């Protein structure tokens, strides 16, 4: 057995054993040391939190702090804001930030709208399961494979030759115009890339929203119908308000995903032709230019852009659970 | 009450849109899968990288020689055992072939070679280096990468166990110098690929003898006026390595037009991309995409896989007449069209300098193997890799022109590849910018080519970016 397998086995088996042992030991410590029930409870909470804090601190906070520290350094300087100045003045970086924001503005909204339409309409048909299966299928395909499928759809052949890409076959067949280089022609190419995100995520959104629609109490819907509301009024005043919390969850997840998007761009254009996003440039700085300082700076900017979304989500969760 | 009961008739009517949507989605998925398989060029051009695993057979005498060389490399220890981790960036059939080529080493020494193929090998090696877990041995197509690894201090000098003078004798002083850093040997050249101009022997009527690039462009323009097929096919799409063929084509053109010394200095950063000569070379090349000399123009070039280009020489009607690419081109053509024979159905010629007084150069970009460990297994492996016997075995596959000049020309399987090997030995071998530049600069060049092909007005700005990237590298990064 190689050392890699031995380590994996030791961690897989050893970690739960160590955790159980820790819990038992901490319980013994609580029983031995605590005098009152309240003190025992406080001790237990503190002791049980320690392993989680250590793990989170090791895998989350330490790298986060390290990333922030690196973002404030260059190879010649221990503390500088040069990287940030570069990130907000270098045209290529500004372009990537703008593109990332464009993804955040467009993709979640597109996915949400399509998912919502699907959820509401599919709830009214007998073959709902089949329709759901069809829309969820792209979720089962890895993003890289999805992008390769779409590369075939966007394939371009010279004018006058057979268009083997579906998009150009349809476009040329319907309009009679010359084919379009979907992945190159700006700014259309960014939308073409985003469409892949829509295709990949709409099933996920539809599934969650569909569950939310089904969760609306039947009595409310029935009462509304008895009162003679139209379909639109039913959606506007009953369905929509009831599924807003789920839409919030979906939107949050999609915004965070859109901010982090990398695979679609990397596979299809490698960030060329004005399609670079923050994730792509972080990769380039870290692994191609081997510049951890600038790579970390872009990562921190990505984090800062995501923070308001995370904050809003936390606030919503607290409100929902009444904390 | 069941929700089904409260659904209105109006809702049922809306089901049509859902049905249509689901059908469209399914059609999209099926069409996407279908178009992947139905594209003749994509399927047929995959011979070099996407073919299924296959068995390889080699000349038994060459295998026996290779085994003997491996045993010698291991100091006569047939039970040396252990492993060597090897990382490179080529997959598919070529990866299978490499494993087969390394089998004599394992058979003779008992050392297992774990060949790992990763498309972004440079990034994987860097990450493993940072994690303190580098592979024992790696292969890269760039000497610039070797320089980058040298900077990390983790690269193992080879002259402790490989004799420098016999190395220079086998590979030529030029190649030995190229892999020497601060007086020590750090890499072993493997294949020495060049850039040839390939054509369909039965259809091509253009010049093949002593043709310079400007003459070829002039001929191409005449062909266009005569209404003949596009002179060139240049496809650029290859994921993260897109436009690498264009990079070596421009390098080769500059090597012939400006000489070996010029492109060597360009590759080392001593000549700027912003210089007039480089600008002219790039502009002339980029212009080919917009003035009709390249089949399909810029859009087709940027979106069509590189490996499909040579197949256009054999379409009916012919899509284009010439393809500028390396000695592996015959392998791609014959994988897609097994009936075609090199030398009989297709052939090649080399570009020569416009200036008759200037010696022609054999341009190459390197194929360097280097080590991060100096274990007995790694030492044996590197000695085996450098040996005439191993390089002869590789040469016998016909897929590569080998750097070891002691390889007998007779082992090359056909006159075409043998001819290229002969060209290599009769010319000044020069490694150009593609093989010399660090990956950070190389990446900017690739991006500059693609951006400029898409929009020629951006060429000057893109060339300036290359100089900036190189300066940043020379300054030791930011």
pLDDT in tens, A60-80: 999 999 999 999 999 888 899
Q: Answer yes or no: are the C-beta atoms of B465 and B272 closer than 8 Å.
A: no
Q: Answer yes or no: are the C-beta atoms of A116 and A247 closer than 8 Å.
A: yes
Please check whether residue A139 touches B, CB under 8 A: no
Residue B162 has a pLDDT of: 95
Interface with A, mutate which of B299, B440, B444 (most A CBs under 10 A): B299
Contact between B302 and A270 using a beta-carbon 8 Å cutoff: no
Q: Answer yes or no: are the C-beta atoms of B223 and B212 closer than 8 Å.
A: no
Q: Which residue of A has its CA nearest to B127?
A: A287
* Nearest chain B Cα distance for residue A61, angstroms: 20
- A194 vs A10, residue with greater confidence: A194
Contact between A290 and B302 using a beta-carbon 8 Å cutoff: no
Q: Using an 8 Å CB-CB cutoff, list chain A residues near B299.
A: 156, 158, 179, 181, 184-185
Residue B43 has a pLDDT of: 28
End-to-end CA distance of chain A: 50
Cβ neighbors of B9 (< 8 A, separation 6 or more) are: none
SS3 A298: helix
Residue B15 has a pLDDT of: 46
Residue B477 has a pLDDT of: 67
Residue A312 has a pLDDT of: 84
* Nearest chain A Cα distance for residue B428, angstroms: 31
- Which 177-196 residues of chain A touch chain B by CB within 8 A? 179, 181, 183-185
How far apart, in Å, are the Cα atoms of B275 and each of A134, B278, B466?
56, 6, 12
Please check whether residue A64 touches B, CB under 8 A: no
pTM: 0.81
Q: Using an 8 Å CB-CB cutoff, list chain B residues near A150.
A: 32
Residue B7 has a pLDDT of: 43
Which of B17, B26, B299 lies closest to A181 in CB terms? Answer: B299
Q: How far apart are CA B25 and CA B291, in angstroms?
A: 39
Q: Which residue of A has its CA nearest to B449?
A: A272
Q: Using an 8 Å CB-CB cutoff, list chain B residues near A288.
A: 122-123, 439-440, 443
End-to-end CA distance of chain B: 68
Contact between A272 and B451 using a beta-carbon 8 Å cutoff: yes
- Which 267-326 residues of chain B touch chain A by CB within 8 A? 295-300, 302-304
Tokens 């690498």 identify what position? B244
Q: How far apart are CA B198 and CA B178, in angstroms?
A: 28
Q: Answer yes or no: are the C-beta atoms of B13 and A125 closer than 8 Å.
A: no
Q: How far apart are CA A17 and CA B452, in angstroms?
A: 60
What b/e sequence results for B85-96 when a residue is b if at least 16 CB atoms lie within 10 Å of its CB, and e otherwise? bbbbbbebbbbb
Residue B388 has a pLDDT of: 96
- Which 104-123 residues of chain A touch chain B by CB within 8 A? 118, 121-123
Q: Answer yes or no: are the C-beta atoms of B383 and B162 closer than 8 Å.
A: yes
Q: What is the pLDDT of residues B78-118, one digit of tens each?
A: 999 999 999 998 888 889 999 999 999 999 999 999 999 98
Q: What DSSP designation does B328 have?
A: T
Q: Answer yes or no: are the C-beta atoms of B413 and B334 closer than 8 Å.
A: no
* Nearest chain B Cα distance for residue A85, angstroms: 13
Which of B19, B42, B478 lies closest to A293 in CB terms? Answer: B478
SS3 B368: strand
- pLDDT reading at A190 higher than 60: yes
Contact between B6 and A225 using a beta-carbon 8 Å cutoff: yes
Please check whether residue B447 touches A, CB under 8 A: yes
Of B1, B4, B79, B329, nearest to B194 by C-alpha is: B329
Distance of alpha carbon B22 from the chain centroid: 43
User: Per the structure block, which two tokens stand in for B71?
Assistant: 């045993």
Residue B333 has a pLDDT of: 94
Please check whether residue B36 touches A, CB under 8 A: yes
Which of B22, B120, B478 lies closest to A74 in CB terms? Answer: B478
Note the helical H segments in B364-432.
376-386, 388-395, 415-426
Cβ neighbors of A269 (< 8 A, separation 6 or more) are: A183, A184, A189, A193, A275
Q: Using an 8 Å CB-CB cutoff, list chain A residues near B2.
A: 218
Query: CB-based burial of residue A180 (10 Å sphere; 0-12 exposed, 13-18 middle, 19+ buried)?
Result: buried
Q: Answer yes or no: are the C-beta atoms of B185 and B159 closer than 8 Å.
A: yes
Of B83, B97, B82, B89, nearest to B116 by C-alpha is: B89
Q: What is the pLDDT of residues A225-268, one digit of tens each?
A: 999 899 899 999 999 999 998 998 899 999 999 999 999 999 99
Q: Answer yes or no: are the C-beta atoms of A189 and A182 closer than 8 Å.
A: yes
Residues in chain B with pLDDT values less than 70 = 1-54, 477-478
Q: What DSSP designation does A75 have?
A: S
Q: Using an 8 Å CB-CB cutoff, list chain A residues near B31.
A: 153, 166
Q: Which residue of B has its CA nearest to A80?
A: B478
Cis peptide leading into residue A77 (ω within 30°): no
ipTM over 0.90: no
Q: Using an 8 Å CB-CB cutoff, list chain B residues near A271.
A: 447
Tokens 């007005």 identify what position? B457
Cβ neighbors of A117 (< 8 A, separation 6 or more) are: none
């Amino acid at each position: 057995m190689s050392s890699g397998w031995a380590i994996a086995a030791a961690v897989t088996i050893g970690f739960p054993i160590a955790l159980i042992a820790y819990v038992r030991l901490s319980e013994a410590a609580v029983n031995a040391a605590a005098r009152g029930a309240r003190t025992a409870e406080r001790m237990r909470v503190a002791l049980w939190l320690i392993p989680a804090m250590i793990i989170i601190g090791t895998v989350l906070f330490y790298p986060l702090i390290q990333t922030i520290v690196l973002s404030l350094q260059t190879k010649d300087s221990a503390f500088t804001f040069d990287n940030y100045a570069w990130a907000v003045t270098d045209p290529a970086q500004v372009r990537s930030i703008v593109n990332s924001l464009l993804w955040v503005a467009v993709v979640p909204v597109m996915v949400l709208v399509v998912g919502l339409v699907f959820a509401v309409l599919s709830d009214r048909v007998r073959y709902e399961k089949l329709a759901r299966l069809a829309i969820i299928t792209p979720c089962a395909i890895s993003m890289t494979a999805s992008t390769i499928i779409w590369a075939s759809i966007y394939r371009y052949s010279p004018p006058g030759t057979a268009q083997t890409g579906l998009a150009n076959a349809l476009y040329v067949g319907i309009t009679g115009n010359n084919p379009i280089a979907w992945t190159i022609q700006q700014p259309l190419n960014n939308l073409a890339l985003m469409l892949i995100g829509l295709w990949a995520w709409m099933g996920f959104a539809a599934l969650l929203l569909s569950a939310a629609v089904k969760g609306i109490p039947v009595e409310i819907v029935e009462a509304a119908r008895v009162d003679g509301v139209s379909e639109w009024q039913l959606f506007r005043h009953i369905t929509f308000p009831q599924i807003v919390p789920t839409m919030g969850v979906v939107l949050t997840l999609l915004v965070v995903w859109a901010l982090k998007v990398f695979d679609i761009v990397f596979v299809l254009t490698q960030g060329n032709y004005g399609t670079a996003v923050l994730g792509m440039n972080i990769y380039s700085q870290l692994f191609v230019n081997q510049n951890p300082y600038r790579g970390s700076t872009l990562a921190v900017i990505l984090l800062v852009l995501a923070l308001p979304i995370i904050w809003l989500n936390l606030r919503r969760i607290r409100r929902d659970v009444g904390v | 009450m069941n929700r089904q009961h409260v659904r209105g008739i109006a809702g049922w009517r809306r089901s049509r849109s859902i049905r249509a949507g689901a059908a469209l989605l399914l059609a999209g998925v099926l069409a996407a899968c279908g178009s992947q398989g139905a594209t003749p060029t994509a399927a047929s051009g995959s011979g070099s990288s996407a073919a299924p695993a296959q068995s390889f057979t080699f000349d038994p005498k060459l295998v026996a020689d290779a085994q003997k060389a491996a045993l010698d490399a291991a100091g006569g220890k047939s039970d040396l055992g252990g492993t060597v981790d090897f990382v490179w960036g080529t997959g598919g059939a070529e990866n299978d072939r490499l494993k087969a080529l390394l089998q004599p080493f394992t058979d003779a020494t008992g050392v297992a070679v774990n060949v790992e193929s990763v498309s972004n090998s440079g990034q994987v090696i860097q990450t493993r280096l940072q994690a303190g877990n580098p592979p024992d041995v790696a292969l890269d197509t760039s000497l610039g990468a070797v320089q980058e690894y040298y900077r990390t201090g983790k690269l193992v000098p080879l002259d402790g166990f490989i004799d420098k003078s016999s190395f220079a004798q086998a590979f030529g002083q030029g190649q030995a110098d190229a892999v020497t850093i601060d007086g020590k040997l750090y890499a072993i050249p493997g294949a020495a690929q060049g850039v040839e101009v390939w054509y369909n022997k039965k259809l091509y009527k253009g010049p093949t003898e002593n043709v310079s690039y400007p003459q070829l462009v002039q001929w191409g323009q005449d062909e266009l006026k005569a209404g003949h097929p596009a002179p060139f096919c240049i496809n650029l799409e290859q994921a993260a390595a897109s436009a690498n063929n264009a990079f070596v084509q421009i390098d080769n053109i500059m090597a012939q037009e400006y000489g070996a010394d010029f492109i060597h200095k360009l590759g080392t950063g001593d000549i700027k991309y912003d210089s007039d000569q480089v600008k002219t070379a790039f502009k002339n090349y980029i212009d080919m995409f917009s003035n009709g000399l390249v089949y399909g123009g810029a859009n087709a070039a940027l979106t069509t896989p590189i490996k499909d280009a040579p197949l256009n020489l054999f379409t009916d009607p012919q899509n284009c007449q010439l393809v500028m690419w390396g000695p592996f081109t015959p392998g791609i053509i014959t994988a897609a069209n097994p009936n075609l024979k090199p030398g009989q159905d297709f052939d090649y010629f080399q570009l020569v300098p416009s200036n008759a007084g200037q010696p022609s150069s054999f341009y190459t970009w390197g194929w360097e193997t280097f080590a991060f460990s100096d274990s007995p297994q790694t030492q044996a492996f590197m000695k085996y890799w450098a040996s005439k016997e191993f390089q002869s075995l590789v040469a016998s596959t016909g897929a590569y022109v080998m750097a070891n000049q002691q390889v007998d020309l007779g082992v090359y399987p056909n006159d075409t590849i043998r001819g290229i090997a002969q060209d290599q030995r009769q010319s000044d071998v020069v490694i150009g910018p593609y093989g010399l530049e660090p990956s950070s600069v190389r990446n900017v060049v690739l991006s500059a080519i693609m951006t400029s092909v898409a929009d020629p007005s951006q060429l000057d700005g893109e060339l300036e970016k290359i100089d900036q990237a190189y300066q940043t590298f020379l300054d030791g990064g930011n």
